[in-house]
Structure 1
C-alpha cells in the first residue's frame, strides 16, 4: 500500500509539473490568419486601425520550466488571438519587453484588405 501511495504521489507531481511547463497561450483557429510585423514596417494606407493590444506569456516561475522560444511563441499567440478578436488581420509590433520570467509584446492591430 505504501508503494502505491508513493507512486501515486510521484505520478501526480510529474503531471502537475508537465502542466506548468507548457505555455498557456495557444493559437486559436480564427487567429491563424493574423500576420505580425516588426515596428520598422510601414503600415499600408488602406489598412484600418482596430486598436492597441498586448500579448504576454509567463509568470514568476516560468523561467524554471520554459525556454525563451516557448515564451516568445506564447506571447505571439496571445497577440494574434487578441488581434483576431478585434477583427484585425495584421499586427505591427512596438518594441518588445523581455523580463527574466515572461515576455510581453505591445502592438497596433489593423485590418488590411
Structure 2
C-alpha cells in the first residue's frame, strides 16, 4: 500500500503540474488550464467548508479585547491548500493598569 507522500507526489504531477512542466500544444494547454481551474475552484469550496467547520474554534471563547483577526487561504500548485489565521489582542494587564490610573 503506497504511503501518503507517494500519493501526494502523484497528485502533484498529474493534477497540478506547473505551466512550464506541461506538454506543448494548444489543445493540451487548454485542457490543462480547464482542469487546473476546476481543481482550484474545488479547493476554494473545500476551504470555505473547512472555515465553517472550524469557525467556533478559530477564536477562543475566553479571548478578550480582540483588535484584529486575519485569515489567509493559500493555494500553491505543489502543496496542500493551507488556512492560516491570527488574532491580535490588547494587552489586558496594561489596559487594566491604565484604566485604574484614570479612575
Q: TM-score band (shorter)?
A: 0.3 to 0.5
Asked which structure has the greater RCO (Cα within 8 Å, sep 6+), the reply is: 1
Higher strand share: 1
TM-score, normalised via structure 1 length: 0.30
TM-score, normalised via structure 2 length: 0.33
Higher helix share: 2
